[in-house]
Amino acid sequence: MLSVVALPRLSSVAPAYDDLRFFDETVAALRFARSSATAMQRTVCVTFNPNHKQLSLTYDSAYVPAGCGPTLAPPGGSGAAYVVNAQGASVYSGEASFNFDRVGRPSAAQTIAVGSRQIIVESETGYVR
């Protein structure tokens, strides 16, 4: 009886849960990128790849901006690049890439759509909401 009632409801909730998880992980990644830029005093680049449903972070290894290259390690760790992958979630829409400068300001104000939700990156402060 439980499987007849519960399983159909769980399967319809899964896509909404994936979208929410992907949205939350994207917000966290953008906040991490901004704080990393100010902590390292380096430019941090944010790149969206809608075809692979992912976001990746790289940084400029020089103090004087020359372009991003090395991948940014995840918080508290080393090794693999900081990448957010969507499994069943909706694709990003918006700018393909932007960066945060040494003081945490984005190269331009951003409005990023993740499914039906929007993430705003303020132009002057870099605040992510």
Residue 24 is encoded by which pair of tokens? 């939350």
Domain of 55, CATH number, reads: 3.55.40
Distance CA 111, CA 79 (A): 30
Residue 126 covered by a domain:
no
Strands 54-59 and 83-85, bridge-based pairing: antiparallel
- The residue-averaged pLDDT of 90-112 equals 84
The per-residue pLDDT for range 6-30, each reduced to its tens digit, is 555 455 556 667 778 888 888 999 9
State which residues form the domain around 107. Answer: 14-121
What is the model's pLDDT at position 112? 85
What is the maximum span of the chain, computed from C-alpha positions, in angstroms? 65
Residue 6 covered by a domain:
no
How many helices (DSSP H) and strands (DSSP E) are in the chain? 1, 7
CA 38 from centre of chain:
17
What is the model's pLDDT at position 22? 82
Residue 3 covered by a domain:
no
Average pLDDT, rounded, for the chain: 80
Query: How many domains is the chain partitioned into structurally?
Result: 1
The per-residue pLDDT for range 30-68, each reduced to its tens digit, is 999 999 999 999 999 998 877 767 888 999 988 777 788
Closest CA to 34 of 98, 81, 104: 104
The per-residue pLDDT for range 90-99, each reduced to its tens digit, is 666 666 789 9
What is the model's pLDDT at position 14? 60
Are the C-beta atoms of residues 27 and 119 closer than 8 Å to each other? yes
